[in-house]
Amino acid sequence: MSDLEQFRMETRTWLEQNCPASMRTPVKGFDELYNGGRKPEIDHPDQKTWCDRMAARGWTVPHWPREYGGAGLDKEQVKVLRQEMARIGARSPLDSFGISMLGPALLHFGTEAQKLDHLPKIARGEIRWCQGYSEPNAGSDLASLATRAQDNGDHYLINGQKIWTSYADKADWIFCLVRTDNSGSKHEGISFVLFDMADPGVTVRPIRLISGSSPFCETFFDNVKAYKSNLIGEEGKGWTIAKYLLTHEREMISSFGAAPKKSVGQIALETMGSDASGRLANGVLRQTIAQYELDTLVFGATMARVGDEARAGQGLGAASSIFKYYGTELNKRRNELNLAALGEQALGWDGAEYSGGVVSRDWLRSKGNSIEGGTSEVQLNIIAKRVLGLPDA
Amino acid sequence: MALVLNEEQVMLKESAAGFLAEKATVAHLRQLRDSASAQGFDSDVWQEMAAMGWAGIAIAEEFGGLGYGYTGLGLLLEQSGRNLSASPLQSTVLVAATLIAQLGDKEQKGRLLPAIASGEKRVTLALQEGPHHVPLQISASAKRDGDAWVIEGSKLMVLDASSADTFIVIARTSGSPGDERGLSALLVEAGSAGLAVSARSMVDSRSAGALLLEGVRVPATNLLGVEGDAWTGLSRTLDIANIGLAAELLGLSAAAFERTVAYLKERKQFGVLIGSFQGLQHRAAELYAELELARSIVLQALQTIDAGAVDLALVASAAKAKLCEVAQRATNEAIQMHGGVGMTDEYEIGFFIKRARVAQHTFGDYNYHLDRFALLNGF
């Protein structure tokens, strides 16, 4: 038996023995994912057990090095672990911005002390992170951000306001872009710092969205302390880290464009029926759905191709911008088609007969996909300038 | 299978690009058009292509080919699309050789495929009868008379008709238009009594023609495969043909796009390069994203053929529909963004939109393949 097969058998046995039965059921939505933190939202007591058991093996972040809370698995082993988890329908033990966003940035830009300080707590789900990027006057033009960090010896004093801070009301720490210098160009003088949201100078106000949910917050800083030991990279060079992280964020958001389990075509067939030739009864909707399904298939092939190219050491420069742009537009198209296919049943807002309005709320939420993490228009600017080399105005 | 080209394929692609950029460019296509060439391609260039193994690239080694598979042929077609290179690569290599490999018995394959692979024989499919691709609507008929078949009917859009040595005529030996059963494939030699071949002048300056078959007698041994049972092999051949055309359209669209972006960087209006206008930048960026998506489905479809997948229909229609859409957009945008010079015959960009539309329509356009894609998805 190859080492990989040996690993597969051991993994299978361990998962069988350690994954609680309740954690082998699919999550109903984004909200049911376990995010950890000092004040975790526990929907089921087994969530923490499952997370703790996986974390003890380094399997919440299996590809991270062991000294930082991972298991040091290679790509093939990680793939086997994912396959074996999928085989029994095991839920992801821990989902967090610490894992998907800050972790990769720390691994890339952090000092050894910073990695040892923060990564294991992310891996164990002890600290939940949020991202402090956008400001009321710095949206698409993120580099014009104005939240100030004033040098105060061994720490900075942070003053200013962030907006669209995802889950700031539930987070323990923030990774934050702040201005340490105003004298140069707007891209210079930005620094990337980490600090504790428990500081009394932090105020958080959730923002209610058109979908009724409040995943984002306004976050205010009034003389908040950020220790210089938690400055990542050099002072004034935070924009590089910000861009690196945005790439990760875009890839995460673009995954919304992946094909759903039940195709829109199937949904429409069930609600509207077909003609004698097997074609969906409404030819206009049928064409729109077919175009969407075709683009979804082709988008999936592109995700696979770019993954394969990355493994082969080639790469598509603007892949993350293409994915962000195309994936989010696809997700919006899918949500519009859900409305068309399900009819007025899709427009329910609340109550059991509408499953709590999940279709309409998801549809409304999807509108934000092409705004957050860099709008579609910003992605097109990036492709036009960086890939096609078109001139500035 | 990884969706990347291996080293051998990259080399093939580069050598094809170099050869075509020298020997079979848009300028050559213009010369062929202006000299009113009946056959629509340069025989000497075709012999050089054959000498490099291109004619047999997807033919198995046991029949004199290179056995490189359709991913290799797809790379040649993509490069042909980039240069608008006219050759019998589509008619003979992509379509006819595939159909012979699908339907022929060992003797027929042993006789025909090596002759195609060496570049000595040119064969083409005679299928379509009306202005649209509806492959089951065949009314041409073949009736048995002693040890011969007698064929009656007419065919349109026969690629490279005027220079073909042999036609594979799809005719009914039983059943009625619309039936899968009853379709047969028959080899008809050029010059056969009762066969009239007329060249048709098409917008892309390539040579397509029409056939009139009036009591054409061919020996019984000219039946390719089993009587009345051609549909499965024909249908698979059409799927492969559409994937190959998608590869050609990919190269064509990418080249039209690159020429357009280059123009945006050189043309000045209002005192600035027009490429600095966001109204054009976003359209170019969207098209770039579409082209990257198109590249993925073409490669996946080519690899699906070579992996020997039993059912190609879905991926073939997906690839063709997507590439029809992208090619249409890329060539329309190319004309619009070139402005007035894009409308002139002197500028080469017009040749791209012309070839694109013919390749799009060959063996089913966007509407045909999107409809088929939806049906294959169950709606």
Cβ-based contacts of A393 with chain B (< 8 Å): 272, 276-278
Q: Which of residues 153-172 of A touch B (CB under 8 A)?
A: none
**In sequence order, what DSSP letters do the residues of A337-369 get, joined into one string?**
HHHHHHGGGGG--SSGGGGGGHHHHHHHHHTTT
Cβ-based contacts of A267 with chain B (< 8 Å): none
Q: What is the DSSP letter of A388?
A: S
CA atoms of B280 and A384, how far apart (whole Å): 9
Residue A316 confidence (pLDDT): 60
B58 touches B244 (CB < 8 A): no
Residue of B285, B299, B379 lying closest to A289 (CB–CB): B379
CA distances from A2 to A6, A83, B342 (A): 6, 17, 61
Residue boundaries of the structural domains of chain A:
3-93, 129-236, 258-387
CA atoms of B321 and A315, how far apart (whole Å): 26
CA atoms of A147 and A135, how far apart (whole Å): 8
CA nearest to A385 within chain B: B281
Q: Report which of A115, A119, A62 is spatially closest to residue A85, judged by C-alpha positions.
A: A62
From first to last of its 379 residues, chain B has per-residue pLDDT tens of 788 899 999 999 999 999 999 999 999 999 999 999 889 999 999 999 999 999 999 999 999 999 999 999 999 999 999 999 999 999 999 999 999 999 999 999 999 999 999 999 999 999 999 999 999 999 999 999 999 999 999 999 999 999 999 999 999 999 999 999 999 999 999 999 999 999 998 999 998 999 999 999 999 999 999 999 999 999 999 999 999 999 999 999 999 999 999 999 999 999 999 999 999 999 999 999 999 999 999 999 999 999 998 889 999 999 999 999 999 999 999 999 999 999 999 999 999 999 999 999 999 999 999 999 999 999 9
Cβ-based contacts of A316 with chain B (< 8 Å): 292
The alpha carbon of residue B335 is apart from the nearest alpha carbon of chain A, in Å, by 18
B54 touches B90 (CB < 8 A): no
CA nearest to A312 within chain B: B4
Under CATH, to which class is A3-93 assigned?
A: mainly alpha
Q: Which of residues 59-98 of B touch A (CB under 8 A)?
A: none
CA atoms of A103 and A118, how far apart (whole Å): 9
Domains and CATH numbers, chain B: 7-121 (1.10.540.10), 124-224 (2.40.110.10), 231-376 (1.20.140.10)
A388·B374 Cβ contact <8 A: no
The alpha carbon of residue B192 is apart from the nearest alpha carbon of chain A, in Å, by 41
Burial class of B344 by CB neighbour count within 10 A (0 to 12, 13 to 18, 19+): exposed
Q: Report which of B132, B151, B162 is spatially closest to residue B222, judged by C-alpha positions.
A: B151
The alpha carbon of residue A197 is apart from the nearest alpha carbon of chain B, in Å, by 40
| pTM of the entire predicted model | 0.90
Q: Which two tokens stand for residue B178?
A: 């619309």
Burial class of A275 by CB neighbour count within 10 A (0 to 12, 13 to 18, 19+): exposed
A105 touches A66 (CB < 8 A): no
The 10 Å CB-count burial string (b at 16+, else e) for A74-96 is eeebeebbeebbeeeebbbbbbb
The 10 Å CB-count burial string (b at 16+, else e) for A46-70 is bbbbbbebbbeebbbbbebeeebbb
Interface contact B200, partner A, CB < 8 A: no
Residue of A266, A308, A392 lying closest to B276 (CB–CB): A392
Under CATH, to which class is A129-236 assigned?
A: mainly beta
CA nearest to A299 within chain B: B293
Q: Which of residues 297-336 of A touch B (CB under 8 A)?
A: 297-299, 301-302, 304-305, 308-309, 311-312, 314, 316, 318, 322, 325-326
Q: How many CB pairs under 8 A join A and B?
A: 136
Cβ-based contacts of B278 with chain A (< 8 Å): 381, 384, 393
CA nearest to B373 within chain A: A290
Residue linked to tokens 């940035």: A105
Residue A315 confidence (pLDDT): 64
- Those residues whose C-beta lies under 8 Å from the C-beta of residue A99, and which sit 6 or more positions away, are A60, A61, A122, A123
Residue linked to tokens 């600017």: A381
Report the residue of B277, B291, B293, B375 to disrupt the A interface, i.e. the one with the largest count of A CBs within 10 Å.
B293
Residue A251 confidence (pLDDT): 73
Superfamily in which the A258-387 domain is placed by CATH: Butyryl-CoA Dehydrogenase, subunit A, domain 3 (1.20.140.10)
Enumerate the H helices of chain B as residue ranges. Answer: 7-23, 26-34, 43-51, 69-83, 97-103, 106-117, 231-264, 278-306, 313-338, 349-361, 366-376
The alpha carbon of residue B276 is apart from the nearest alpha carbon of chain A, in Å, by 5
B379·A389 Cβ contact <8 A: no
CA nearest to B289 within chain A: A322
Residue of B286, B322, B377 lying closest to A380 (CB–CB): B286
Residue of A314, A379, A381 lying closest to B4 (CB–CB): A314
The alpha carbon of residue A364 is apart from the nearest alpha carbon of chain B, in Å, by 24
Cβ-based contacts of A309 with chain B (< 8 Å): 3-4
CA nearest to B377 within chain A: A265
Question: Which positions of chain A have pLDDT values less than 70?
Answer: 256-257, 315-317
Residue A85 confidence (pLDDT): 96
Cβ-based contacts of B293 with chain A (< 8 Å): 295, 298-299, 301-302, 326
Cβ-based contacts of A325 with chain B (< 8 Å): 286, 289
Q: Report which of B114, B241, B107, B99 is spatially closest to residue B169, judged by C-alpha positions.
A: B99
